[in-house]
Structure 1
């Protein structure tokens, strides 16, 4: 798949097969992610890979509970309350792999750099027919002190991108987008 086709056809994927992504492929995707541009050459990224389905399911339930208990802090999530209450709903889309991108806060540019790395990973994965989805619902749960201690994440690192991944169940059509808003030509 060429670059333009990859960009034009990339979608967030929320339905995965049970096929396992190999360790070699995950390592390759992370290495491709770190080819991203980086402010001041700091390369502030760090990664966590979770491939234990029970752990992923447990983190989904923990995240759902946290969000439901704290909806008043996140009024923009009220529209998802019924999803969060559903026992069948997995915030990680029943994926068997999570890739978490953390940024070293010693770099002023860590959010930008890690977002660029995540984008590289998502596009490279798409070119390999691996789907990805940025999971905003997990922002709190995967950035707590307890979670960081369990996965050996230094205190100076903050979660930037929680990403579910897996081989796509079905190929999706190209995304439809509004015309770009251009303020000045």
Structure 2
């Protein structure tokens, strides 16, 4: 897929087949992610690959419960309160692959670096027929000391992005966007 077509047709995918993404493909996507520009050449990213469906499902339920019980801490999630209490809602879109991107806080640029890496990964995945969706709900659980210790994430790394991933069940139409706001016309 040509790069402009990829950018013009990329959408957040939330309906995946049961086909598992191979480790080789995931490592390739991560390598493509790390081709992103990064501040001061520090390459401040680190990754966790999750493909244990039971763990992913459990994390979805824990996240929903935690957020529903603590909405006062997360006012930006109030609009999703009915989702959090819906037994059919799955934080990770029933994906069998979740990629978590952490940034080393010793670099001032870690959020930018990891966001650019996530963008590369999402576009490269789209070009391979793999859907991705940035999961904002995941931060309160996947950035805990408990989770990071279990997955070998050093203390100085903070969660920047969580992507649900999978081969797309159906092709999505191109996204429609408003005209960009240009302030100095």
Which TM-score applies when normalising by structure 2? Answer: 0.99
Indicate the residue corresponding to 1:144 in structure 2. 144
Question: Which residue does the alignment assign to 2:96?
Answer: 96
Aligned residue number for residue 181 of structure 2: 181
Distance 2:104 2:76 in 1: 28
* CA deviations over 1:72-115 (Å, ceiling 9, x no partner): 11222122111110111100000000000000000000000000
Task: Look up the match of 1:16.
Answer: 16
**What's the C-alpha RMSD, in Å, of the aligned pairs?**
0.6
Q: Given the alignment of the two structures, is residue 6 of structure 1 paired with residue 6 of structure 2, yes or no?
A: yes
Structure 1 stretches lacking a partner, 5+ long: none
- Structure 1 length-normalised TM: 0.99
Partner of 2:131: 131
**Where do 1:70-109 residues align within 5 Å?**
70-109=70-109
Does residue 55 (structure 1) correspond to residue 58 (structure 2)? The answer is no
Unpaired stretches in structure 2, ≥5 consecutive residues: none
- How many residue pairs are counted as aligned between the two chains? 185
Instruction: Measure the CA separation in 2 of the matches of 1:140 and 1:162.
Output: 11
Which residue does the alignment assign to 1:32? 32
Runs of 4+ with deviation above 6 angstroms: none
SS at match of 2:28: helix
In the alignment, what sits opposite 1:169?
169
Q: Secondary structure in 1 aligned to 2:98?
A: strand
Q: Distance in 2 between matches of 1:171 and 1:87?
A: 26
Quote the Cα distance in structure 1 between the aligned partners of 2:91 and 2:148.
Answer: 20
SS in 2 for 1:122: helix
Q: Give the 3-state SS of the residue equivalent to 2:166 in structure 1.
A: strand
